[in-house]
Amino acid sequence: MAVVSRNPEDMSKPSFSAADDPLLPWLRSIHKALLGRDSSQLNNSTDLDLLVSNCINTFKSDPRYRDDVRYLKIWFLYMDGSSDYERVFREMEERRICIHKALLYESFALFFEAKGRLIDACMIYHLGISRNAEPLGRLKKAQVLFLERMSETVINESFQKKRKEFLQLKKQGSKAWNTVVEGCIPPIVQIKNGVSAESGEKFVNPWSVSTLKNLLQKMNSQVVQYEGYHPSNRAYPGKVALSSLLKSARNKTIEIGGEDQIKGCAGQGGFAQVFKAYVNSNPDDVVALKIQKPPFPWEFYMYRQLDMRIPEKERKSFGFAHRLHLYSDYSVLVSDYLAHGTLQDAINSNVVIGGSMEEVLCIYTIEMLQILETLHDAAIIHGDFKPDNLLIRYSRDDPTENENEIRQRTGPWRDQGLCLVDWGRGIDLSLFPGNTKFMGDCRTSGFRCIQMQENKPWTFQVDMYGLCVIVHLMLHNSYMEIEKKASPDGTYIYQPKSHYKRYWNVDLWKTLFAKLLNVDPAEDHKKLLQSLRESFQGYMCSDPKLIRKLKQLLVKQKTSLCSA
């Protein structure tokens, strides 16, 4: 069950002693088992499955945990290890486990959606809303985004068949079922060939199926010549079914060109899984395999654009794809594997000890500003700029305290930083007419830019808003909520609701949010990014003590993340 959150940090923040909270020792044991899942401490998932099952059986009748989100997440892990997930959900219903928590319905609906069971997903959203599951506003937003995703499938002819299925079920079903289905059928929206009509104006939806399909067809003669592109009209022919990897991937060998032996799962989402693999069983030749169904060649195209457009000095900050194996049923993207975790992992590591990142570590902001400055100058938008997609790079040697090396990013600082990956939502602006505006929703909760929230056209704002959310996560350990305030000139400005700690460099952070959340479309935003980056670099280099502290914290962070 790939879409259910299994973040161990979320289960390791209890505020009671074991005597007051009998679930606490179980949470700690499960947390430890999850951390060791892909290491030598745990050769397979049997120990974890048994631990989770015993925890469920111990507390399933305990009323204290009926509405405990921590216990709900244990149920998700239990469901993950079960072949009959619907039976597990029915048992949760019977025992009324967190039936008033939005997380239950969001997670289960996403799972059904990933399986293509859209009617079931729609029913789950409807059920949660009818029960006023909290936070209700978030659940309603999730349902709206789900309906928008369904509306997009109008582009595919198959959706007309799905719509007939909806109507057929409506005709055959009970009155209650009719009510549910009626609320699930999205209207036929005016979307054709990736262009959405709104208020008489036309804006391109860069992520619609038809837009990507048309662009790839136009670029096909160029794509087939790219190094590492291996298309096939056949289904994946290997002996090990790729679908079996979702349940258990350890030590399985899949054949793509040579033989890439999979060693555990590095990360996964609703529609793709990323695996760590040894090429030809060579532990010194480690790659990441992104396996996706249906096949998705767009990301490979974007990686090749990065190869051609990003300056050599900055190329390490954007990830590398070695090759793509494109079958009729799956695509397998082979890329570099970075073993140090993501920026999200670094943020979560502070959650475990009950706090957020120290302000000096939030200087990762410099690297993110540099990444967007370089990327946008190459006429590329990432479109999914979030901490999960920023891998951490550590230099082989410890960073120095040399101010010039920090400013110029030379010496060990050249290899110290972030690497932006996952280009499935990447937008190549060179493929669109100049001054094109986009209409489309990234559908990622917490990362929908202001323009998306207000149904307005956007371009680079999607990436800059993502940067603001990440900075907010580092500073406050919470997603950014914004407020709209009237300004003296009669316009409005947007700003985060959260307050700043007195000992922070408040002006620095305030300026960052004020500039990026309220950027003037007529302004050269690349110069703005450069100006902000230079102001952060100036602050960092203004005091040798800050550099020394940053160096110490990075060494400590590397030790922590690499040992997890």
Tokens of 337: 């594997």
| Rounded-to-integer distance, Cα 128 and Cα 136, Å | 8
Q: Identify which of 319, 292, 299, 294 has the alpha carbon closest to the alpha carbon of residue 215.
A: 299
Annotate 70-138 with three-state secondary structure. HHHHHHHHHHHCCCCHHHHHHHHHHCCCCCCEHHHHHHHHHHHHHCCCHHHHHHHHHHHHHCCCECHHH
Q: Cα angle vertex 262, ends 259, 264, to 5°?
A: 175
Tokens of 524: 């050269």
- Looking up tokens 């005016």 gives 190
**358: which strand partners?**
none
The four Cα atoms 80, 46, 287, 321 give a dihedral, to 10 degrees, of -10
Q: Identify which of 189, 548, 226 has the alpha carbon closest to the alpha carbon of residue 398.
A: 548
Catalytic residue among 68, 80, 384, 441: 384
Q: Identify which of 208, 155, 162 has the alpha carbon closest to the alpha carbon of residue 185.
A: 162
Cβ–Cβ < 8 Å for 425, 382 = yes
CA-to-CA dists, residue 412 to 310, 317, 394, 395, 397, angstroms: 21, 14, 9, 6, 6
Active-site residue flag, 68:
no
Cβ–Cβ < 8 Å for 280, 123 = no
Q: Tell me which residues are annotated as active site.
A: 384
